[in-house]
Amino acid sequence: VERNVLLSGNMQKSAELFAKACKVIPGGVTAHIKYFDPHPIMMEKGNGSKLYDVDGNEYIDYLLCYGALILGHGHRQVFEAVTKQMVESGTTIFGTPHKLETTMAEKLIELYPGIEMVRYTNSGLEATLLAIRTAVAYTGKQKIAKFEGHYHGGYDQVLVSVNPDIDKAGESSAPKAVGESRGLPDYYLENTIVLPFNDLTATEKILRDHAHELAGVILEPIQGGFIPADQDFMTGLRKVTEELNIVLIFDEVKTGFRLSIGGAQEVYGVKPDITALGKVLGGGFPVGAIGGKKEILMISSARGGRDILTVGASNSGKQAPLYHSGTYNGHPTILAAGLATIHVLEQMGTMDTLFANTQLLRKQLEEVYKFHGLPMQTIGMGSIFNIILSEGEVKNYRDMRKVNTNLRKQIDYELLRLGIYTKPLNRYSMSVVHTKEDIERTAAAHDEAIKRVKNK
Ligand code: PMP
């Protein structure tokens, strides 16, 4: 254990607990994303903008559970809504319809220009999966197109060209489909077409070539939460998909409630056919949802259809609807947490302050790096951004691959020692409870981290 202690001395318990986890959990983590060398830090509790690890170290948290915790840790209003729901309902889940499902659906329809009807899932992954199945069912076509470098959850069809080796990925204007996991059936590689983000000419050409077999195009309007689509690209993509009868799916799992309360579709003024939501929607609990055009979503209506899980003669002869189910879908406690979160975000000035604080942090960090003579830019929109230690333009996956991450990594490890938390090389998410003092402390920590790296 000693040799592997990340941050000399004050990370001893983390190292020990991680070594113990490795004996019973492959690689010691329950999601790949949680790992970093030599071992991740074991967290024990969160409060507001802060995280505390098992060794008692305090961190200002910019991971915020990959953006989910827009109100920070343990927000009072979320806590109260969850408690009230549990006390009043006498249980946590019914396995029946209940009124919060409708209340939340009405809220999403009010906030998201592209949403006319809603279905719930338990994660962002399930939401994009359902969105894709819906596109396939609606169009009767088989293939799906996604953009290189875009993440939509950890399942077969979209574990393609998320972070591929460039030498295997072909021309930037016609990227090849590269599998990202062992165990992916060939079917998915063959049926997933990869597109170059922010390159409308090349994207349009590929879409036209495959229009006869393409059910849908899925994208993160802001790649990785921090590389924005160009306005012309978004407008053009909407136009061409409409013309070619290809369902346009916005994966707003990250941008939803964060880019603006009505997501990227509100900011860009572009209506997708289907929207996938997650993260903030659950107020810190596992959730997902799809919303979209009534005409499209209605194909999952069970009314009058055949039920595959109820055995009985009355089923015979009826057509199966698009199948969608899940024991915990529309979990009342989670919807109560989500509604409380949205309620806070809707209060006058909350989003404006969140954006202003994000801008302030970006500006202060840019000044620190400038002072040290290091090339640096922050990129992002809304309440998420990333730190890029180069001055070149970053518009897509290939541009990101050119960024030198070595220096950033060294600085990030120093930042962990100085009490600033995000996973090394990860983006920064802000919450409504991060204060000006947190921002000052973060800028000062970057200054110190750079000095330490320079003096090595
Ligand atoms: N889509 C996007 C854009 C995401 O960022 C994520 C999660 N990082 C997902 C889908 C998957 O969501 P979940 O982890 O809830 O399955």
* Whether 151 is catalytic: yes
Half-sphere exposure for 225 (CA within 13 Å, toward CB)? 22
List pLDDT tens digits, range 325-342. Answer: 999 999 999 999 999 999
CA 60 – CA 435 distance, rounded (Å): 10
DSSP state of 157: G
Question: In this predicted model, what pLDDT tens digit does every residue of 340-367 receive, in sequence order?
Answer: 999 999 999 999 999 999 999 999 999 9
Residue 1 clears pLDDT 70, i.e. is over it: no
Q: Which atom of ligand 1 is nearest to the CA of 255?
A: 3
> Omega before 38 cis (within 30°)?
yes
ipTM above 0.95, yes or no: yes
* Atom number, ligand 1, closest to the C-alpha of residue 252: 3
Q: What is the pLDDT of residue 90?
A: 79
**Mutate which of 147, 158, 254, 429 for ligand 1 pocket (most atoms within 8 A of beta carbon):** 254
Distance CA 387, CA 426 (A): 9
Mean pLDDT of 192-215: 98
Q: Specify the ligand 1 atom closest to the Cα of 66.
A: 8
Answer whether 123 contacts ligand 1 (Cβ < 6 A).
Answer: yes
Sign, CA torsion 65/39/380/179: negative
Catalytic residue among 251, 412, 438, 447: 251
For ligand 1, is residue 251 a contact (CB within 6 Å)? Answer: yes
CATH, domain 350-363+373-430, list 3.20.20.210, 3.30.390.50, 3.40.1440.10, 3.90.1150.10: 3.90.1150.10
> pLDDT digit string (tens) for 363-414?
999 999 999 999 999 999 999 999 999 999 999 999 999 998 999 999 999 9
Closest ligand 1 atom to Cα of 287: 15
Ligand 1: residue whose CA is nearest its atom 5 = 254
Q: What angle do CA 210, 215, 216 make, to 5 degrees?
A: 95
C-alpha 152 – ligand 1 centre gap (Å): 5
Q: Dump pLDDT digits (tens) for 413-456.
A: 999 999 999 999 999 999 999 999 999 999 999 999 999 999 98
pLDDT band at 94 (very low <50, low <70, confident <90, very high): confident
What pLDDT sits at residue 315? Answer: 61
The residue among 1 and 374 whose pLDDT is bigger is 374
* 197, 218, 279: residue to mutate for ligand 1 pocket, most atoms within 8 A of CB: 279
Q: Which top CATH class is 76-346?
A: alpha beta
Q: What is the pLDDT of residue 312?
A: 63
Pocket test for ligand 1, best of 32, 66, 151 (most atoms within 8 A of CB): 151
CA 251 to centroid of ligand 1, rounded, Å: 8
Where exactly does CATH 3.40.640.10 map onto the chain? 76-346
Whether the model pTM is above 0.90: yes
Question: How far apart, in whole angstroms, are the C-alpha atoms of residue 9 and residue 381?
Answer: 38
- Which residues belong to CATH 3.90.1150.10 in the chain? 350-363+373-430
Q: Find the 371 Cα to ligand 1 centroid distance in Å.
A: 36
Over residues 6-28, the pLDDT tens digits come to: 555 589 999 999 999 999 999 99
Catalytic residue flag (residue 251): yes
